[in-house]
Amino acid sequence: DVKVTQSSRYLVKRTGEKVFLECVQDMDHENMFWYRQDPGLGLRLIYFSYDVKMKEKGDIPEGYSVSREKKERFSLILESASTNQTSMYLCASSSGGNTYEQYFGPGTRLTVT
Amino acid sequence: GENVEQHPSTLSVQEGDSAVIKCTYSDSASNYFPWYKQELGKRPQLIIDIRSNVGEKKDQRIAVTLNKTAKHFSLHITETQPEDSAVYFCAATAAGNKLTFGGGTRVLVKP
C-alpha cells in the first residue's frame, strides 16, 4: 500500500517567515508533486519533480521553491510567507512510466498571519 | 497550457438517484482523464480514469464517458448512496504526469 506522509497537518506561521513543508513517499516513486487546494479552484500544481534533483514549475510557482535531494523526499519552501499563501497544501507521488495514478498525502493546512 | 472546467460546483441528489458531473478541457492533445474523490477531511483518491482511445469505462456504480470531438468527459454515479457524498475532481493531461484539475464538485446525497 502506497504511503505518502507530510510533516505537519496544521501549521501557523507569521508573514515573512521561511516555511518548509516536507513530503515523504515509501514506494520508490519517480514523480512527486506539490499542489495547493483552495475552494472552487481545485488542485493547482505548484512544482513537480520526475527525478532526484530535477524539478519543473507547475502552474503557480511564484513565491515557492522546492528541493528533492533524495528520491523519497520532496520539500516545498516558502521563502517569505505571505497571507495569500494561506491554503491547504497537498503532496502527491506517482510511479512514472505509463502509470499516471497519483497518490496523495493527508495535506498540510497552512495559515499565515 | 491545459484548462479544465468542471460543472456543477455543487450537486444535491436523493439517495438512489443518479449524479452526473461534466468537465471540458482545452488541449486537444490531452489523452488521460482521471477522476478523484475527496471525502471530508481526507486525501483525494483515484476512483476511475479513462484514456483517449476509449469512449466509455464502467466500474460498478460509476462510469466515465469521453467525447474527444467536443472535448468533454463526464462522471456518472448511479444508485447514489450516502457514502458517495464527497468532493469530486476531474483532471486532464497531455503530458502524462502533469495533471490539470477542474475546480471540483461537492456532491451531497440526501437520505
Straight-line distance from the first to the last Cα atom of chain B, in angstroms, rounded to the nearest whole number? 41
Query: What pLDDT, on a 0 to 100 scale, did the predictor assign at position B80?
Result: 98
Kindly list the residues from chain A whose CB atom is less than 8 angstroms away from the CB atom of residue B1.
Answer: 59
**Residue-level length of chain B:** 111
**In terms of pLDDT, which residue wins out, B101 or B97?**
B101
pLDDT given for residue B94 in this prediction? 80
Provide the pLDDT confidence category of residue B105 given band limits of 50, 70 and 90: very high
Q: Which of A35, A32, A30, A31 has the alpha carbon at shortest distance from A46?
A: A35
Query: CA B87 to CA A39: how far, in whole Å?
Result: 11
pLDDT confidence of residue A2:
66
Facing A94 at nearest CB: one of B89, B97, B102: B97
> DSSP letters of A36-55?
EEETTTEEEEEEEESSTT--
Q: For each successive 10 residues of chain A (113 residues), what is the average pLDDT?
A: 89 97 95 94 94 92 96 97 98 88 96 98
pLDDT of residue B96: 66
Query: What integer pLDDT is reported at residue A88 of this predicted model?
Result: 97
pLDDT confidence band for B98 (50 / 70 / 90): confident
User: What's the rounded Cα separation, in Å, for the pair B39 and B83?
Assistant: 9
Q: Which residues of A touch B91 (CB under 8 A)?
A: 43
Contact between A37 and A43 under an 8 Å Cβ cutoff? The reply is yes
CB A48 within 8 A of CB A58: yes
**Direct distance between the N- and C-terminal alpha carbons of chain A, in angstroms, rounded to an integer:** 37
Decide if A78 contacts A87 (C-beta within 8 A): no
User: Rounded to an integer, what distance in angstroms lies between the CA atom of residue A80 and that of residue A60?
Assistant: 16
The model's pLDDT over B31-75, given as tens digits with 9 standing for 90+, comes to: 999 999 999 999 999 999 999 888 999 999 999 999 999 999 999
B5-30 pLDDT per residue, tens: 999 999 999 999 999 999 999 999 99
Decide: A39 and A53 in contact? Cβ < 8 Å.
no
Among A42, A100, A106, beta carbon nearest to B102: A42
The alpha carbons of chain B give a radius of gyration, in whole angstroms, of 13
- Which residue from B91, B31, B40, B101 is spatially nearest to A41, judged by alpha carbons? B101
Separation of alpha carbons A71 and A6, rounded Å = 15
User: Which chain B residues are within 8 Å of A106, Cβ to Cβ?
Assistant: 42-43
